[in-house]
Structure formats: structure tokens, C-alpha cells
A and B are shown apart, each in its own frame.
Chain A
């Protein structure tokens, strides 16, 4: 049976810049950074120090597996900001929001109360958007009058 999610792909425009962004700005750690052969594919993964079994692989569109037209379309979608890359969680949304913002992360939404927690919204340096959420303690809050 399927046991869980181990790796998910985030399409980035430049792996060096993405590596810097995901480590120095977001505070994730590099798990693997290796190139397969001379000029070959660079396998770059990052993850949270608190979650050793989940990684994001930062991939550049292209390579032998992708035709140039598809790679160009994918780059365009990322650059346009049309793609979402996932939800990252925190235990201190307001503190981390300020910390990340001070490091130059571009937020599209400051932390807002939602039934499932407090959520902000930012983009990585390529244009992928992430939800940044502190889950509500005790789970979904359905007692509050969220719908008037």
C-alpha cells in the first residue's frame, strides 16, 4: 500500500538561485545536490529539518525528457505566477511571516484567520506560489460563525 509522499517536484527557473532562496530565505536544508555526469541532470532536493521524510526536488524545465516547446510553456507558466507549489506549515505564522518578509520573500497575503488555521501566501523567486499556514490547534474550527 502507499505509505506517503516522499518527493514532490517544484519547477524553478534557475537551480542556483532556487537553492539560495529555499535555504537562506525559507530556512530549508539541502538534502541532495549532485549532477549526473558531465553536463548531466542536476538532482537538487531540499526539505524541512523537522520532516526528514519529505523533500522538494527543484527541477528546471527541459532536459531529454521534455521537448523544448513544453519546457518553454512550463517556464512561462511559472514566470506568470500561474502555478502553486504547495502548502508549507509553521508553528509561528506571525513571527515567521515577519522573518521571511525581512529576508525579502514576496508575500501576496499577510496572515489571515481561516477555519483551518492562520494563512499567508508568498511566492518563491521563480514565481511559484505557496500557502504558508499555521494549522489551528484542535483542528478545524466549525464553532465560530465563519459564514455569518
Chain B
């Protein structure tokens, strides 16, 4: 159980510091007090995906949040969530959500998603891919 706690602390570090473009695997693994290799294994065992996948999903999910709620350009959001290249950001975003960032914004604008408590959006809608992957439908019901 202590090991699980250590892995959670590392996950929390990603949930907290996702905006930092310098956040890398070694930094995150250090929060758990694990070596790189053991950390990746332990994280995947606990949370079902690798730390790298989790961090990417967390950043995409935060970008979704900003696209829904903040009056910022796609390029600004790309950098705010820790991506250095707009091309990479857009490609990853599309893989995850099924839409480009602009399409996502157009689809979700004015849907009221900003009213969902941010903590729920962050921890519940979080970074984990639903199984089976249904990216395009993922947010369709959230405006309720």
C-alpha cells in the first residue's frame, strides 16, 4: 500500500505540474522514489497506462478545458499545457478527442461545460481513456 501511495504522489505531480514543459519521466519518477524502469511498470500496473501516456492525456484534457472556458488562441493553449509544437499538439489532440482543437472549440462552445466543477472535470473526466475508446463521443453529454 505504501508503494501505491508513492505512485500516486507521482501521478499527483503530473496532475499539478502538467503545464511545465520540463516535466519529464525522471522528475516524475523521483516523486515516487522509483527508478525509471520500475516506476513505469508500477504506474502502468496501478493506472492502466504509462506515465508518458497519462501526462499527454492530462495535457490534452486540460487543453479541452481551456478550449471550453478560456478566451485564448489554440497556439496559446498549446504552450500553456506544456506542448512546444503546435503540430504535435494538434495531432495528439485529434488522436485523443477525434477533433482538431478548433473543431473541438466550435462543437463545445456555449455548451455550459464551464459550470461543471473543475475538480470533477480534472479528476473524474481526467486523463484516462475510456475503454473501448470512443473519443468523439466523450464529451457529448456533459452539458446535461
CA distance A32 to B6 in the complex (A): 31
On whether the beta carbons of B5 and A121 are closer than 8 Å, the reply is: no
CB distance from B37 to the nearest CB of A (A): 21
CB distance from A50 to the nearest CB of B (A): 21
A127 in complex: contacting residue of B8, B70, B71, B111, CB < 8 Å: B8
CB neighbours (8 Å) of B118 from chain A are 109, 112, 114, 119, 121, 131
CB distance from B129 to the nearest CB of A (A): 16
On whether the beta carbons of B16 and A147 are closer than 8 Å, the reply is: no
- B105 beta carbon closer than 8 Å to chain A: yes
CA distance A114 to B114 in the complex (A): 7
A75 in complex: contacting residue of B1, B7, B110, B124, CB < 8 Å: B1
Given A76-B4, A84-B123, A114-B117: A147 in contact with B109 (beta carbons within 8 A): yes
- B87 beta carbon closer than 8 Å to chain A: no
* Tally of chain B residues near chain A (CB < 8 A): 32
- A11 beta carbon closer than 8 Å to chain B: no
CA distance A84 to B46 in the complex (A): 18
- B11 beta carbon closer than 8 Å to chain A: yes
28 A-B residue pairs with Cβ-Cβ distance under 8 Å, sorted by A, are A79-B5, A79-B8, A80-B4, A106-B9, A106-B12, A108-B15, A109-B119, A112-B118, A114-B114, A114-B118, A116-B115, A116-B117, A119-B119, A121-B122, A121-B123, A129-B119, A131-B120, A145-B71, A146-B114, A146-B115, A147-B68, A147-B69, A147-B108, A147-B112, A147-B114, A148-B70, A148-B71, A148-B105
